[in-house]
Structure formats: C-alpha cells, structure tokens
Amino acid sequence: MVKKVLMICLGNICRSPIAEVVMVDTLEKAKVKDVEVDSAAIGGWHVGNRADPRAISTLQKHGLKCTHIVRQIRKQDFSDFDFIFGMDEDNMSELRRLAPKDSKAELLMLGDFGLEKKNRIIEDPYYERGAEGFETAYQQCVVACAAFMKERLQK
C-alpha cells in the first residue's frame, strides 16, 4: 500500500521543498518503495513559483535537484496524505487549525525524528543573508528524514 508524505512550511520555498527532496533521496537510497512525497505552503504568497534559489543551490551542492512548483495546502490533503509534517511550532499550530475533523493524516513535526530536542525546530532561513541557514535546514532534514523512514516506513 502506498504511503503519502507531505512536507509543509510557511511559503513552500525553503524548508519544505528541501525536506521533500531529501525524503525522496533518503527513500531511494534505502530502496524503500511505495512512498509518495510532496510539499506545500501554509500561505499562498509564492504559489506557482519555484523554490528559493538558495534552497535550490543548497540541494545542488549535495547532488540533488529540486523541480517543485509551490502550492498551498488544501483541505483534501488531510485525507489524501498519511503523514503531514510541519517544520516548527507555528506550522504545527496552523496545521492543527486547518485539519478537518475527519482528517486521516497524522500531523507530525519533522524535527521530532532523530534530532535533539534543542535542535528539533527547523528554522526558516528565508530572511537570513546567504545560504548558511539553508545548509542547516538541509542537514536537519537529512537526519530527520532518515530517522522517520527507519521508524515508520521501513518494514
């Protein structure tokens, strides 16, 4: 049975597209099949655009490609996806608010998998200068995606 994973951040141009690409790469390297991964935004400001160039270049630096086009989360996502991940407490609060009563999706914070409690928030690097925050988010996603895969997706 196919499992579906949705990564969420505020604008779907920094953290969630990085998490999407990292999760796909993690699953491919582990030869885990039957998992679909997507990402989306809480807000609609960037719908139709590509990820932030700093996110794209951070992924390229690690040999990964991001072709995602920004979309906003929809009510239907809460029944289509098995797991919906937020990157920080604000994302989680908004996801809980948006989730319909009959939601099948499990709402999780990505950083709760594999990261130390003090580093579990994947901070938004959008307003930072340079790409350092994007690299930090990437590294956190690598650890968290691998831990989630081992804990919940590998048989």
Cross-strand partners of 57: none
Whether 9 is catalytic: yes
Exactly one of 25, 66, 124, 141 is catalytic; which is it?
124
> How far apart are the C-alpha atoms of 73 and 7, rounded to whole Å?
10
Does residue 120 have an active-site annotation? no
Q: Of residues 14, 15, 141, 145, which has the active-site annotation?
A: 15
Asked if 106 and 81 touch (Cβ cutoff 8 Å), the reply is no
| Catalytic status, residue 80 | no
3-state secondary structure of 39: strand
Residue partners of 3: CB distance under 8 A and separation at least 6? 34, 35, 36, 82, 83, 153
Show the beta-strand stretches assigned E in 10-150.
35-41, 83-86, 106-109
Instruction: State the catalytic residues.
Output: 9, 15, 124
